[in-house]
Amino acid sequence: MSLSVYVILNNLLMPTLSSRENLTSYKQQVAQRFDRAAVTYDVYARFQQQVLERLFQVLPMIKVDSVLDLGTGTGRAIPLLRSLFSPDRLVAMDLSQQMLSQARMAAPSQATSFICADAEALPFVDEAFDLVLSSLALQWCLCPDVLFDGLYRAVKPGGYIVFSTLCHGSMPQIDQAWKGLDDNIHVNQYATYTSLLEQVGKGGWTIDDAVLEPITMWFDSPEEAVDSIKKVGAGLVRGQASKGMSPSKWRAFLRQYAQLRQTAGVPLSYQVAFIVAQKAC
């Protein structure tokens, strides 16, 4: 069984890519992974749904005319945004064409624009949105400076970015289960919560609300825990880790992971940051 479906890419702290070709290749790989998972996403995205619901709890109650749902996926946030704000303009953007296709089918009668684009190369005029919402998408970006600078330009004075993202310490059970089996990196090396806040501040944003919350999901088996990553498109590997592995090593990993079972089941834990930041008026 290939290792590539089980290893998550290092995101905010990924090593610098050496060329534009490598950058383009990486983004293409991300899009392809999510393209393949578009049909299965909603079935397996319990964690993503829980995070989205929590993110809506920190949304500021403001007058909103234009909204960008950045990394919309299958469009789960679209009806919630419409219900809460009734914006004149709602744009749903994603790197994956197939995710956008699923989102269109889920909201066929709603006046929403769907755009396939990269969060680090926003295709909008300056000061286009009152609010940018993004749930568990920004960790796929490579350059925080580019990301938060671009978002700052895209938001109107006094507007907000409200987002969730993974931080250091996520998925420790997978890392623990692999220890002793090989020397490869099998989990993301995400930004620490402190460095994430610094990255946002460097973009010119004023942080109005920020919290780091641990979330643990429970599964009947290690296979189901891993599927919760793979089946939503979040599995990606680069370099030597992309090589296949023997079935015996994979079975050894599953045995190690199964030993972490508790009364509630097999755990998979995340450290999730919820950030509300405002652009100066």
Strand 89-94 with 113-116, pairing: parallel
- Whole-number Å distance between alpha carbons of 245 and 211: 38
| Per-residue model confidence as pLDDT tens digits over 176-195 | 999 889 878 777 788 999 99
Confidence (pTM): 0.89
Q: Crossing angle of helices 20-37/97-106, nearest 10°?
A: 40
| Per-residue model confidence as pLDDT tens digits over 203-242 | 999 999 999 999 999 999 999 999 999 999 987 643 334 4
Q: Is residue 221 part of a domain?
A: no
Q: Is residue 247 part of a domain?
A: no
- Whole-number Å distance between alpha carbons of 66 and 57: 19
Q: What is the DSSP letter of 5?
A: G
Structural domain containing residue 22: 11-168+190-215+269-278
- What is the tally of structural domains in the chain? 1
Q: Is residue 243 part of a domain?
A: no
- Whole-number Å distance between alpha carbons of 80 and 46: 17
Q: Is residue 91 part of a domain?
A: yes
Q: Is residue 204 part of a domain?
A: yes
Q: Is residue 253 part of a domain?
A: no
Measure the CA angle with vertex 164, ends 108 and 131; round to 5°: 60
| Per-residue model confidence as pLDDT tens digits over 98-142 | 999 999 998 766 689 999 999 999 999 999 999 999 999 999 998
Q: Is residue 21 part of a domain?
A: yes
Q: Is residue 254 part of a domain?
A: no
**CATH label of the domain that carries residue 119:** 3.40.50.150
